[in-house]
Chain A
Amino acid sequence: MAGFKEIRSKIRSVENTKKITKAMEMVAASKMRKVQERMRAARPYSATVRNIAGHLAEANPEYTHPFMVKRDVVKRAGLIVVTTDKGLCGGMNTNVLRSVTSKLREFEERNIGSDVVAIGSKGVGFLSRIGARIVSQVVQLGDTPHLAKLIGPVKVLLDAYQAGEVDEIHLFYTRFINTMSQVPVTEQLVPLSAEHLRPDWGTHGWDYLYEPDAPTVIDDLLKRYLESMIYRALAENMASEQSARRMAMKAATDNAGNVISELRLVYNKNRQAAITKELSEIVSGAAAV
């Protein structure tokens, strides 16, 4: 009967696909653990920077950094969009880009221009296709997040903010909740709100000795703080990516298994039908003789 060979080769091809998705699932699972560790390792730094910046803000109430001043009229906004470099990780990039698109539209309705910094090639591709104004980008981030790669692209936007060209900066990424769930989030990065800089522990009555002077140190610290927030976003995004990929590949493997069992059923049915037909032909042939 026709179709035997086709079905058999189809089963083989799906089996091969299943092997690949299974392998990708396991790779993602092992990478996931590493990236999660990375993500946790970044926490003490941002907590410490926040504490020190909080102390400083408390000790120097007269000095407010431009990063902390809310501007009355917003003419241009900056968006930092963190996506993955590679696909096959379910809907996480789509979800982030959807919230970016709605934000861009909201800005346009309010007559606010937007500059975008794209981190990760999926975001770069999408945003340039739809014609967003990308002021800087970074792709090919690898499996471990590195702060050095972020300094340049982020500086472009922070400089624009300090020069008064951009009045707000928003950060978009996928937050890692646990290995089963990741959610797209939007955070306002600049201007920093006061509660961002509240230290974790109590107040104190003394001030620091500064070298070289207070404003320089505060400037440096706030820059580090923002960088560490973006770094954390990237680390969370990477952890989300691996988890999402693991889930997507697990789903693909399961689906491949289902397809294979369905095809087997069809194959066996066909085989049985062919045997029955042949038998009945022989029997009827014998009866005729």
Chain B
Amino acid sequence: MADASTMHIDVVSAEEEIFSGEAEFVALPGESGELGIYPKHTPLITRIRPGSVRIKIPGQAEEELVFVAGGILEVQPDMVTVLAETAIRGHDLDEARASEAKKQAEEALANKSGKIDYAKAQAELAEAIAQLQAITRMRTKR
């Protein structure tokens, strides 16, 4: 895959592939300090803090800069993978998001009995399906 002086690096987030290619050197903000990685690094897995990832591409004077909002770094001797976050994460922030979603549901839900009205569900679904069938029949008729 790569010769001895380079390694493959992938920076991916859940929403897109941010960077993929060969690199001579990568620097990124690890959870317990700045990390610099050359090819043939020992296998390592760690969380990274929000910051910029600097990638030195062979034959290119300028370093590639990628900003990540935290994430997870996996290092293997000939490849580096950065799983970047797309959103700033944190325990409190996630908790706030969860309670927000919960609150919305509670507001929307008048009866929290948990008794499911299957008759109503079936009637509603049957009506929707009947409508759709009517439309397809109308189409095939012609």
A-B CB proximity, top 8 nearest: A152-B97, A148-B87, A211-B46, A153-B101, A136-B101, A152-B101, A155-B98, A41-B16
Interface flag for B125 (CB, 8 Å): yes
**A-B pairs with beta carbons under 8 Å apart, 22 shown:** A38-B15, A44-B20, A45-B14, A46-B14, A98-B125, A101-B125, A131-B114, A131-B117, A131-B120, A136-B102, A138-B104, A146-B86, A148-B87, A151-B97, A152-B94, A159-B98, A210-B46, A212-B32, A224-B83, A231-B15, A255-B138, A258-B142
Beyond A130-B120, A155-B98, whether A207 also contacts B129 by CB under 8 A is no
Interface flag for B122 (CB, 8 Å): yes
Q: B19 CB to closest chain A CB, in angstroms?
A: 11
Interface flag for B63 (CB, 8 Å): no
- What residues on B are CB-neighbors of A126 within 8 Å? 121, 124
Closest A residue to B86 by beta carbon equals A147
- What residues on A are CB-neighbors of B120 within 8 Å? 129-131
Closest B residue to A207 by beta carbon equals B43
A137 touching B101, Cβ below 8 Å: yes
Query: A78 to B105, alpha carbons, bound, how many Å?
Result: 15
A156 touching B98, Cβ below 8 Å: yes
Q: Once A and B bind, how many residue pairs between them come within 8 Å at the CB atom?
A: 179
Interface string of B101-124 (1 = CB under 8 A from A): 110110011111111111011101
- What residues on A are CB-neighbors of B109 within 8 Å? 128, 133-134
B72 touching A224, Cβ below 8 Å: yes
Interface flag for A191 (CB, 8 Å): no
Closest A residue to B89 by beta carbon equals A151
- What residues on A are CB-neighbors of B32 within 8 Å? 211-212
B105 touching A155, Cβ below 8 Å: no
Interface flag for B61 (CB, 8 Å): no
- What residues on B are CB-neighbors of A129 within 8 Å? 117, 120, 124
A118 touching B105, Cβ below 8 Å: yes
- What residues on A are CB-neighbors of B95 within 8 Å? 155
Contact of A135 among B74, B105, B121, B129 (CB under 8 A): B105
Contact of B129 among A44, A94, A137 (CB under 8 A): A94
Binds B, one of A10-18, A26-34, A48-56, A263-271: A48-56
Query: A124 to B96, alpha carbons, bound, how many Å?
Result: 21
